[in-house]
């Protein structure tokens, strides 16, 4: 593994969208890791919910988001690296060049990656979108979701690269080009 790309940003700013486009661009040299996956898996198991519906980007996920945040915060308060570690456990690090972590939400997530892999392995990337853009993509302010640390903890952080994802571009080409050039990925 050469680099780990930690992608963060507010809801509906395009973290998944850009991560998928970047994955296509890097072809079989990269994988996407989602910290939310082990969270959703454990939560679904606990409550006997449909894990596939939880992992997809639909209303089912939104319905359980608030409770899941509360429960996962409790787990993190005892071990801040718990879900990062669980998510990275399945990554085939020897056979790929890049790991794209598409849902970084907290300072402690970034801290865990720095401590575990070293600063030289990590690039932090912040995606931003105007409120109007996010609304057009389906975002609605939700108390208990948009005003809690899982959404706001990184608001005052500094990132290696910040990219605006406002212009709708189905291929995501321009943004990916900027990302590749700025971080000198090849
Ligand atoms: N540059 C873009 N061009 C066209 N559509 C986009 C672009 N960026 C994002 N979208 C669309 O906006 C919607 C939200 O994007 P996405 O799911 O990637 O956001 P997210 O940051 O992962 O959100 P969440 O935190 O809620 O999971 C998706 O339907 C996605 O296809």
In a domain, 12, yes or no: yes
Q: What is the pLDDT of residue 80?
A: 97
Give the pLDDT band of residue 49 (cuts 50, 70, 90).
confident
Cβ–ligand 1 contact at 38 (below 6 Å): no
Atom of ligand 1 nearest to the CA of 166: 1
Asked if residue 151 is part of any domain, the answer here is yes
Torsions phi, psi for 13 (to 5 deg): -95, 0
Domains in the chain, number: 1
Domain around 108: 3-35+85-181
Q: Is residue 71 part of a domain?
A: no
Ligand 1 center to 9 CA (angstroms)? 11
Classify residue 49: in a domain, yes or no.
Answer: no
Q: What CATH number does the domain containing 131 carry? A: 3.40.50.300
pLDDT at 27 over 90: no
Does residue 55 lie in a domain region?
no
Please tell me whether 14 is known to bind a ligand. Answer: yes
Q: H or E segment at 85?
A: helix 82-89
Position 137 in a domain: yes
pLDDT at 62 over 80: no
ipTM greater than 0.95:
yes
The model's pTM = 0.93
Q: Give the tens place of pLDDT for each residue, 147-182.
A: 999 899 999 999 999 999 998 888 889 999 999 999
3-state secondary structure of 140: coil
Ligand 1 close to Cβ of residue 9 (< 6 A): yes
Shortest CA distance to 87 belongs to which of 71, 74, 105, 70? 105
* Domain-located, residue 155: yes
The predicted model gives 43-67 an average pLDDT of 83
The pick from 7, 11, 16, 62 for probing ligand 1's pocket by mutation, whose C-beta has the most ligand atoms within 8 angstroms, reads: 16
Whether 10 is covered by a domain: the verdict is yes
49 and 43 in contact (C-beta within 8 Å)? yes
């Amino acid at each position: 593994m050469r680099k780990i790309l930690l992608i963060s940003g507010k809801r509906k700013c395009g973290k998944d969208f850009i991560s998928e486009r970047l994955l296509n661009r890097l072809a079989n040299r990269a994988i996407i890791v989602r910290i939310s996956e082990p969270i959703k898996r454990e939560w679904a198991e606990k409550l006997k919910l449909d894990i596939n519906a939880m992992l997809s980007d639909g209303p089912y996920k939104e319905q359980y988001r608030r409770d899941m945040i509360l429960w996962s915060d409790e787990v993190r308060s005892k071990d801040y690296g718990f879900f990062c570690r669980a998510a990275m456990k399945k990554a085939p690090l020897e056979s790929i060049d890049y790991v794209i972590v598409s849902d970084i939400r907290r300072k402690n997530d970034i801290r865990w990656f720095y401590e575990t892999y070293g600063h030289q392995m990590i690039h932090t990337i912040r995606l931003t979108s105007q409120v109007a853009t996010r609304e057009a993509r389906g975002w609605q302010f939700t108390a208990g979701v948009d005003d809690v640390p899982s959404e706001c903890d990184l608001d005052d952080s500094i990132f290696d690269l910040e990219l605006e994802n406002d212009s709708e571009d189905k291929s995501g080409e321009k943004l990916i080009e900027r990302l590749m050039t700025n971080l000198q990925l090849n």
